A and B are shown apart, each in its own frame.
Chain A
């Protein structure tokens, strides 16, 4: 162990190496690592932001979907009620039509019944006159006794 001028050489060499580190190695590496750190944190930030955006979009699409669903169901309800209405209307119309048909049929029936009654009445009147002519035989004029016979017919 002897201290000699080697010490100064080592001192100088150390100062030079520290200077090299100070000038060329340390700051560039610090900057590099700092940049990378920033880049990574930016990337993470962007990722979380897009995550948030995705969530928002999901939420939005869900609300849109819900709206569409409710709209569709209301449309279906409307359509259903409209169909019911149409059916009801058709039913009503049919019923009315049926009533009309029934009424006209009843009128027809009444008319033809009246006609038949009239026909029968006339025939009965003719028969009564013929019968009365046969009974009275001679003098009794059909015209003279028509009033009596008509009143008889009306009583029938």
Chain B
């Protein structure tokens, strides 16, 4: 019994670990070559490297994150681009109606929150909000689905479909925001004024710490919420997983089903809310940067 439990524990932690590893393509120090992390895929023969994911350094790419985010972006922005191209001034079609609704929603947030003159804030808010929502929606797909299709469809043993649960993606967004905030701060207050604000007035370098941390927090907030949500889905999925292991644990099936459903319903809120929060904070930071105070 104890042995069986220990065995289960190892399998469980393996299962969780499996779901937290990205499909990685990177530079392997050991062999001095580029390649996929060891045993992650069988699709590209000969591109397997000897390194594990943990052994790869900074120069590695999470191909699943990149693939999924660009695919989702292409779908979302392609949709809006096509609808806009077909848009007409008269009575709008239903798709155009939807696109207009989304646009008006974001535009009203921008107009009420941003009082500067920059033309980039609207598009930035639009792009970040919709891209993040499309990422987050991937969290609602069953956790096993991606691995299932990855394994049998393409020979990828590791494939995470949720770009938000990879810190690189939200961090990239937050850094773009940070660069823009810095640019507009310097433009509004001048380089000297901006540096003075960061390091001297009124609390010394504390302001600099808050400046950096608010942008890092922008990324971490999004990442943390979705990563935790994904984690809970994985834990719930384990309940189903027990089904195959021993008969006594098939009893987990029903609570697992109920939990999965209720968490998914609750998660819809988080999906939209986190994207909204990211957008609103982006607007607020840029507003602070481009108005004199």
Contact = CB atoms under 8 A, between A and B. Distances in A.
Contacts of A39: 89
Interface stretch (B2-10, B65-73, B148-156): B65-73
B127 A6 contact: no
B173 interface: yes
B81 A25 contact: yes
Interface string B51-67: 00000111111100110
A82 to B, nearest CB: 66
A21 B26 contact: no
B196 interface: no
Contacts of B169: 6, 10
Interface in A108-143: none
Contact of A6 (B62, B77, B120, B124): B62
B123 A21 contact: yes
B207 interface: no
How many residues of B sit at the interface, in one of the four size bands? Answer: 35 or more
How many residues of A sit at the interface, in one of the four size bands? Answer: 20 to 34
Interface stretch (B100-108, B235-243, B251-259): B100-108
Nearest to B104: A33
A46 interface: no
- Majority DSSP secondary structure for residues of A touching B: helix
A25 B80 contact: yes
B168 A6 contact: yes
Contact of B26 (A4, A18, A20, A32): A4
Interface string A2-28: 111111111101110110111011101
A5 B70 CA distance: 16
Nearest to B169: A10
Interface in B19-68: 22, 26, 56-62, 65-66
B126 A32 contact: no
B176 interface: yes
Given A11-B176, A13-B70, A36-B89, A1 B167 contact: yes
Interface in A29-54: 29-30, 32-33, 35-36, 39
Interface in B138-166: 163, 166
Interface string B211-227: 00000000000010001
A66 to B, nearest CB: 45
Given A6-B66, A7-B172, A9-B66, A17 B131 contact: yes
B84 interface: yes
Contacts of A20: 77, 81, 127
Contact of B100 (A2, A3, A5, A33): A33
A139 B134 CA distance: 174
Interface of A: 1-11, 13-15, 17-18, 20-22, 24-26, 28-30, 32-33, 35-36, 39
28 contacts: A1-B223, A4-B57, A4-B58, A4-B60, A5-B59, A5-B60, A7-B172, A7-B175, A9-B61, A9-B66, A10-B65, A10-B69, A10-B171, A10-B173, A13-B69, A13-B172, A14-B127, A14-B176, A17-B77, A18-B123, A20-B77, A20-B127, A22-B124, A24-B81, A25-B80, A28-B85, A30-B122, A32-B87
Given A6-B169, A21-B123, 12 more contacts: A2-B167, A4-B26, A5-B61, A10-B171, A13-B69, A14-B127, A20-B77, A24-B81, A24-B84, A26-B123, A30-B103, A32-B89
